[in-house]
Chains A and B, each alone.
Chain A
Amino acid sequence: MAELTRDDVAHLARLARIDLSDAELDRMVGELGIILESVATVQQAPTDGVEPMSHPLPLTNVTRRDEVRPSLGAAAVLAGAPAVEQDRFLVPRILDEEE
């Protein structure tokens, strides 16, 4: 099994959009190493030819009639937003400043 490095954890944190501090990264590398070593024991189970199970029940698609139903109004939906403008979610810039 590949050893998890500090750079690996930093990369994973970036993928997960979590801005970890150096101290958090240092701690996380050690803890994740121990956890990974333990969970890797699944690879010792006799899983050859076993069908993966994603869900405890057989899943079937559920549809409803295509009818208009009441839904939350804009005021209710926006009430929890960090910032609002003109009845819309106000978000930070989504493009790089150079563009």
Chain B
Amino acid sequence: MTAVPTDPTRLTAAEMADALATGAISSAELTQAHLDRTAAVDDAVHAYLHVDADGAIAAARAVDARRAAREPLHPLAGVPVAVKDVMATKGLPTTCGSRILEGWVPPYDATLVTRLREAGMPILGKTNMDEFAMGSSTEHSAYGPTHNPWDLDRIPGGSGGGSSSVVASYQAPLAIGTDTGGSIRQPAAVTGTVGVKPTYGGVSRYGLVALASSLDQAGPCTRTVLDAALLHDVIGGHDPMDSTSIDAPVPPVVEAARRADVSGLRIGIVRELTGEGFQPGVQQRFDEAVALLVERGARVVEVSCPSFAYALAAYYLILPSEASSNLAKFDAMRYGLRVGPPEVAHPSAEQVMAATRDAGFGPEVKRRIILGTYALSSGYYDAYYGTAQKVRRLIADDFARAFETADVLASPTAPTTAFRLGDKLDDPMAMYLNDIATIPANLAGVPGISVPSGLAPEDGLPTGIQFLAPATEDERLYAAGAALEAALTDRWGGPLLASAPDLAPQGA
């Protein structure tokens, strides 16, 4: 029986599920504890764009009543969850961090939100993000940045910095993120949390407001590897509403996370994703993590993926191209913002559209739409978008070759620890480089996980290690991630997050 500490928000989601099952705590109490935590710390962190206290408590009471009536319940029933503001939530505002969707309330739920509700998981609120998921710091949110719980002057990663920091600051045990080029994994790395991008097609995209349809994938943001597996198991699986959804059962991720076994596992170190360009402390913690896995029975092989050198360039052609097309739907006609051009008496629909898109989109979104419009325009298509698609094939081929000799690949998740808010805001290319190690997985559609690897000695900030696996072999990520987590937790004498600053000290 799980003993409930004075502050239940410090439990893992798995422990919360046990405490709920034994009746040690009710979902209403657990949900209220998280709402109280948000009231205490989110003025400083700004992880949420919208908190649904009433809805969350109502859902919690409903699941408590079902439990009292001894109805069969999902293992995570009653465990609250936060959802990135890019997922459509019926009755709850969905802004994608953009002014153009300010106040929009979707008339339907995304499939993964339906699955959360059906599992009886109270939805605490919607988390902050870079506008339409374009960014690596949340500084491109139209509603102001999220602050890293480890150092409030620093970025929490992006685009899913709201989801990473909401779990890092104990405002939610679980959160939903989306990862188009690293937006789950890079925020996890810089906040000392766990994030998983499943295989493309592993989690339904129905109701996910598309950034780049061939790259977008939703997944779990959590504090432990097992919690990520439990959430992955809820949201994954086939959905007839998404034509790219894989028609197969969810891989055995929970079992793999519980087994946490790397004996005989061949870990491929990607030569192109280590060393130069990575902060010394990030590289050091990565090397130590790999050595620890070798102690636990894994084997190391070196692999080379020469085309990864072109991944960032290919990504910043493919993504803007798809985004410029996907974001054409924000036309001021059917939903969202509508503003007229100033000093025009009877503006046309075209003029209203152009004025609205100028007023409603932030600078990064405009940059990428115009870049994509250029890359797709006749005369330049072959040189840019067409060539990028060929590079994409080369990258997928590199992965296929690497997975002939390695079961999983490993690299540092992000090249640096969390940088200061404002440091890279005026330099788009510097911002893009944060995703150098995470982007190849999105281009090839393979799954990836980021797990804490320690604190960089030079700045005391979290570092992350990334594992990548072949498509549909997501369970390998959980086996490697959970084994490393267990080994490191032993070495540290507790989870990494235990050394994060207390954001709401007693008597403060």
Contacts and interface: CB of A to CB of B under 8 A. Distances in A.
Contacts of A38: 312-313, 316, 429
Interface in B48-98: none
Query: What is the predominant secondary structure among interface residues of chain A facing chain B?
Result: loop
B337 interface: yes
B355 interface: yes
A45 B394 contact: yes
Contacts of A13: 366, 370
A24 B324 CA distance: 18
B201 A47 contact: no
B348 interface: yes
Interface string B311-338: 0111011000000100010011111111
Interface in A12-26: 12-21, 24
Interface residues of A, number: 60
B172 interface: no
A52 B389 CA distance: 5
A20 B445 contact: no
B348 to A, nearest CB: 6
Interface residue tally on B, bucketed by range = 35 or more
A57 B366 contact: no
Interface string A57-93: 1010110100000001000110111110000010111
A40 B355 CA distance: 31
B33 interface: no
Contacts of B386: 52
A93 B428 contact: no
B387 A43 contact: yes
B333 A91 contact: yes
A35 B371 contact: yes
B30 interface: no
B240 A64 contact: yes
A40 to B, nearest CB: 7
Contacts of A31: 367, 428
Interface in B442-500: 443-446, 471
Interface string B412-453: 000000000000000011000000000000011110000000
B445 A56 contact: yes
B243 interface: yes
Contacts of B317: 39, 42
B348 A56 contact: no
A54 B240 CA distance: 22
A19 B354 CA distance: 5
Interface in B217-269: 240, 243-244, 246
B394 A12 contact: no
Interface string A40-51: 111111110011
A56 B370 contact: no
Contacts of B369: 16, 18
A83 B335 CA distance: 9
Interface of B: 104-108, 200-201, 214, 240, 243-244, 246, 307, 310, 312-314, 316-317, 324, 328, 331-338, 340-341, 346-355, 357-358, 361, 363, 366-367, 369-371, 373-375, 377, 383-384, 386-394, 396, 428-429, 443-446, 471
14 contacts: A16-B369, A18-B361, A18-B366, A19-B341, A31-B367, A32-B367, A39-B313, A39-B314, A47-B387, A50-B394, A53-B392, A57-B246, A59-B244, A62-B240
